[in-house]
Amino acid sequence: MRTRGALQTLAKVWRHRLGRFGLLVLGLLAVCAMAAPVISPFDPTAIDYEAILLPPDASYWFGTDELGRDILSRIIYGSTTSLQVMVLSIAASLAVGIVIGLSAGYFGGWYDDVVMRVMDGLLAFPMIILALAIIAVLGPDLFNAIIAIAIVNAPGFARLVRGQVLTVRESEFVQAARAIGMGDARILRRHVWPSVRGNVLVYASLKSSAALITESALSFLGLGVQPPAPTWGSMLSTSMQYWDAWWMGVFPGLAIFLTVLALNFVGDALRDALDVRLGD
């Protein structure tokens, strides 16, 4: 039944005009990430001093960079990094935020006060500033970038889940479950979480774009994945030194723009698909 419901939701997103565009772009991103060694025309780290700063042509569709590396190949391989960071960081922040939000909203009391004040403290920092501080402590690395982005996004999930739980926990069906002796863990799993997960999934899809932008910003500043591994953010950073080679910045920037746009479109379509007031 759960699989059927997920397929029905996906079908609604597909019928959404902008949602369909978003799914197609994200599908292309996933294909690039999983099949990069097969579809990439060149080795993304191979240096060719005879092909330095070549504009787009029949051999190099997106041109080459300052070391003669194929930009298209680097963008394709960069999609692997972007997808890894985006999926793993959002999954981690989602898991932490759900646990904190469900427990704080359902049990309340001093635990709710303490935990939510900690979350408020984290939310007081701008996302990129907090991520930079965490990276400064942990060091620049792919895994550390995932940890940093997960930490800065977890408070938002926690507050969202808590707010939803505060509304649901006093509902008649939850009170009835308590009256027949159902345990708290079972109530949370069978009654509370199903009532709030729709909004959480929509929020997760929208926060994925913020995670991608944060990863790109960290790489742009040299604090994400380290060279020679290709990332969209680091490619943009390098392009700042070569204004005449417009292709070095345009194509990585376009990749970031289209991915963020697709994530937002899918989030909007998912919100509409899960809104029972809109019907079919």
| SS3 annotation, 56-92 | CCCCCCCCECCCCCEHHHHHHHHHHHHHHHHHHHHHH
- Give the whole-number percent of the chain exceeding pLDDT 70: 96
What is the mean pLDDT of the segment spanning 160-178?
81
Query: Residue 89: which pLDDT band, with cuts at 50, 70 and 90?
Result: very high
The closest alpha carbon to 116, from 104, 107, 126, belongs to: 104
Per-residue pLDDT at 178: 75
pLDDT surpassing 60 at residue 34 = yes
pLDDT surpassing 80 at residue 28 = yes
User: CB atoms < 10 A from the CB of 44, how many?
Assistant: 21
Tell me: the pLDDT tens digits for 182-238? Answer: 777 787 777 787 778 778 888 898 889 889 998 898 888 888 878 788 889 999 999
Alpha carbons 173 and 72: distance in angstroms, whole number: 55
The closest alpha carbon to 192, from 219, 217, 173, belongs to: 173
What is the mean pLDDT of the segment spanning 119-138?
86
pLDDT surpassing 90 at residue 169 = no
End-to-end, the C-alpha distance of the chain in Å comes to: 19
Contact 45, 77 (CB under 8 A): no
Alpha carbons 134 and 51: distance in angstroms, whole number: 39
Please report, as a single letter, which amino acid is at residue 209. S
Per-residue pLDDT at 150: 92
Per-residue pLDDT at 280: 47
pLDDT surpassing 70 at residue 54 = yes
User: CB atoms < 10 A from the CB of 262, how many?
Assistant: 23
Out of 51-60, 155-164, 180-189, 219-228, which region has the weakest mean confidence (pLDDT)?
A: 180-189
Per-residue pLDDT at 11: 82
pLDDT surpassing 50 at residue 278 = no
Query: Would you say the C-alpha torsion 15, 271, 275, 168 has a positive or negative sign?
Result: positive
Per-residue pLDDT at 3: 63
pLDDT surpassing 80 at residue 23 = yes
What is the mean pLDDT of the segment spanning 58-82?
92
Alpha carbons 191 and 53: distance in angstroms, whole number: 59
What is the mean pLDDT of the segment spanning 87-108?
90
pLDDT surpassing 50 at residue 276 = no
pLDDT surpassing 90 at residue 262 = yes
Per-residue pLDDT at 226: 80
Q: Was domain 78-278 assigned CATH 1.10.3720.10?
A: yes
